[in-house]
Structure 1
């Protein structure tokens, strides 16, 4: 899988990310488009994974003081079960380390907590919460300070 990223909301990578998000969150999960597209679009780094030129998975990173906040993680239904999400998170972690952010934090949908736990994330002490009407938990992953970015 080829993973590209951008901060430019006028280019094709961002458009591909938005297309995946609309299919997964708006169409499949009935999240309002007004909630899905938010004030952070221009503040985040948008990542898209491509298989044979087809955009299949996406996430974005919002910079915070000591971490990146992982948001809008989505994989197209036809591409699930192929470990594309795992490959995407490797790229997110490499990017974070390369940009001197020693940790990742995210609000994971409860139905996806097992996926995030397999990637080394742990629930924080924050109580569960609803985001767009969907149960979530805050999760955190400390990245090795000695980790060397790949590629």
Structure 2
């Protein structure tokens, strides 16, 4: 597995293709909510398998001085093998290179244990985003 920062239109399309399969096709998120106005101001990450097929994605942007982690997803066939953690590690490394030490994300409730293992802490009550239960989580690094 290899995580890349999307540096070309093709790599960004790879990220969108994974997000479409996971969020739109699998979870029924409306396309207009999934691909949003923050795409151009975000840094996009794509996880490729050993045959260079895109299997995971995520994006990162600055929001009020925090690193906002968004759209973390892995194809169902690639889950449970460290793929999500690889994407998150790449995002955290990128943020560290920019001096960012505080992170925020809105986690689907079923994914909270995954983020807790990475040091995130839930700080909100449950809320719906695209009809899916979420909680806001934060992390601060040293």
Q: Deviations over 1:60-105 (max 9, x none)?
A: 0011232210111100000001101111111111111111111111
Task: Please give the residue correspondences for 1:97-112 in structure 2 after superposition, counting only pairs within 5 Å.
Answer: 97-112=96-111
Distance 1:16 1:43, change over 3 A: same
Alpha carbons 1:93, 1:143 under 8 Å: kept = no
- Give the alignment of 1:1-151 within 5 angstroms: 1-6=1-6, 11-52=9-50, 53-124=52-123, 126-144=124-142
Give the Å deviation of 1:7.
Answer: 6.4
Query: CA–CA distance in 1 between the matches of 2:38 and 2:57?
Result: 15
Unpaired runs of 5+ residues, structure 1, are: 145-151
| Aligned alpha-carbon RMSD (Å) | 1.1
Structure 1 residue runs of 4+, over 6 Å off?
none
Q: Deviations over 1:4-60 (max 9, x none)?
A: 11366xx11110100000000000001101111100010100001111101111100
Structure 2's unaligned 5+ residue stretches are: none
For residues 130 and 59 of structure 2, the distance between their equivalents in structure 1, rounded to whole angstroms, comes to 17
After TM superposition, the score normalised by the length of structure 2 is 0.95
Aligned partners of 1:64 and 1:100: how far apart in 2? 14
Q: Distance in 1 between matches of 2:77 and 2:48?
A: 13
